Every structure is written in C-alpha cells, then in structure tokens.
Amino acid sequence: MRIFAFYLSGEHESLPRSEALSLLSIYSSSFKVIFFSDQCLIVQADDLDVAALECRLALTHSVIDVLTICDPLLGSLKAAAKNICIQDKRYCVRAYRIKQAVLPTDQVERAIGSVLKEKGFKADLENPELYLKAIITEKELVIGIEVARPNRRVFEARRPHLKPFFHPGVLMPRIARALVNISQVCPGEKLLDPFSGTAGILVEACLLGVKGIGVDVQEMLIRGAKANLQGLDCSLILGDAKRLPFSHLSIDSAVLDVPYGKSAIIEADTKETLINDSLSELFRVIKLGRRMVIVADRDIRSNISEAGFEILEHHQSRIHRSLTRHIFVCFKDIPVMKMQLAVSWALVTTCYL
C-alpha cells in the first residue's frame, strides 16, 4: 500500500478534504487516512488512479507519492533526505509551508538539494524530469514525487460572468466541480440538478463525462443554460422540482443549489414547501446507496432527515455578512425497518420453499 499526500487548497476549511476523500473512494481499491492537518492530507491507498484524480480535483494543488516523512526540524529533514532515491533523474525541489509551520520553504529546498547533490543527483530548474515536493506542517514534513497537479487555472476561464449567459447568485466553477466530485458520480452516470439555473453545476459534471440532467421552472434560465452547455451532453427540462418527471430510482446522484436571494423565483406557496416537496421527489428518484449534495442559505438538516436522507457531512461557507452557505452531503440508504422486513420476508419465503 503506497502513501500519498494531498496539498489541499486553503479556500475552504473542510470542502477540499471532503472532495479528496470522496474521489479516493472511487479511484482506489482501498485507503485509510494517516494524517490530516489544515491543507495536508496523507493517506495509504491501493491502486490509486492518479491520472483520474488530476482530471477531476478542483480544490487540491498537488498530489505527491510520499518518499519520506519526518519531524519539521532541519536536522530531521537532512537525515530523512539521505534516504531519498530518484533513479538518476533530473529534479526540481519545491516546498510549501502551511500556516503556522516553522521551517521556511527556502531552507527546506536548499537542505534537500544539498543532500541530493552530495549523493550525485542533478538538479534542473528549467527542464526537470520530476518534481520533488515538500509539504511543511507544524507536526510533519512530507517529501515526495509529484504525481498529479490539477490544472486549477481552467476554472478561471469558466467564471460565471465570462459565460455566454450570466445570472447573479451562482456558485463559482471550482466549488461547483468540488460538489460534483463529492457526490461521487462517475463518467456515464446521470447527475440531476433540479434547480439548474445557468447550469454551472451541470457544466462541471458534463466536462467529466457525466450525463447531466437539469430542471428549472424559468424558461429564460433554460434558454440561457443551453447557451452555457453548448457542445456538452446534457438534457434540460422546463419543469418543477416538486414534481420531477423521472421514474423511481432512475438518478445516480444529485447536486443542487436551492433558490435564495432577491433574484430567485419561488414557484411554491412558501420556500419551506418548495424545499420539502423537492427533497421528497429527490428521495424518490435517487438510487439506493447514492449521494446527494445540497446547498442552502440556512440549516435544513431537519428537512433533509424528514425526507429520508442520512446526512454524512455539513459544511459552511460565509459569503458575506447576510449570507452563509450550508452544504449538506446526503446519502440514500435502505431504512432499517425495511431491511428487517426484507430479511424477514426472505426467511419466510425460504422456509416455505
């Protein structure tokens, strides 16, 4: 079992870790967390598909194949660096210091470089064959070979105001992609957004090879979303989230941002009715054992639980003084009572036969 370290984005306290762990569940046969501190996540993982991670991750700067872990002290670092072997490849060292870590990055880079030079390895800052990355935390110093570097710049080109159709109050592309990843949807599967709006979530899903399905009650937004989704495999439906036009257990995952704010149009008696009825419909159409990720402007844990979902995670993100986003990662499981009834019925049937 190999050890990998994720140098996580610092733009949110908990979402980057959730995204990484969600994708590890898909792209490794098994894994376990060894260490986590702020922006550093270290795991043991079997058969990890790092190429798939590089294509999907939005809130991770770098993934490294760990060569050594030591105390964040200069003496410990030099001793640990003596055990590094990079098979005569030209290298470049880059270090990242996380928050209250003591060791400066330049000292770490020089210390590793001097030890490797003594061992006969050659540095090449212009055209290296591999990148050695060091992550410095308060408690650990991790050194390894970079195996994945997600291209986070592509999200900048998809910022909402740069798309063909813009409407205020939407999620930024990196966050939308992270939520799609946390839903654990896979290429070829169906992801539903019942409040699709300008299709920001669906764009990020479809770029991963996921079959996006959007529903919105406003014809204007459907037309605008089609412009934003040009060339992508996505179906858009003018409809009501409270009465979804899908059969039972037909959707693999769902990611949604519940309407809120002055620009939102609520097609229901109250917003509470909209949330409860749409959650009931989502519970009906999502497959057993799958996830839903929902964004709201308030704590709706009781609504989610009453609809039948199990809440796995609750994240918060303060946008401005009057808006804090609540992000819930939900799971549709078989209720215990139904499982007991199913087992009892199976036993009765077996005895009868």
Is the distance from CB of 156 to CB of 120 less than 8 angstroms?
no
Where does the pLDDT of residue 335 fall: very low under 50, low under 70, confident under 90, or very high at 90 and above? low
Where does the pLDDT of residue 1 fall: very low under 50, low under 70, confident under 90, or very high at 90 and above? confident
pLDDT digits (tens, 9 = 90+) for 265-319: 666 668 999 999 999 999 999 999 999 999 999 999 999 999 999 999 999 998 8
Over 50: is that where the pLDDT of 337 sits? no
pLDDT digits (tens, 9 = 90+) for 159-190: 999 999 999 889 999 999 999 999 999 999 99
Structural domains in the chain plus CATH codes:
2-150 (3.30.2130.30), 154-337 (3.40.50.150)
Give pLDDT, residue 169.
85
Q: How would you classify the pairing of strands 253-257 and 234-238?
A: unpaired
pLDDT digits (tens, 9 = 90+) for 47-68: 999 999 999 999 999 999 999 9
CB-CB neighbours of 44 under 10 Å: 16
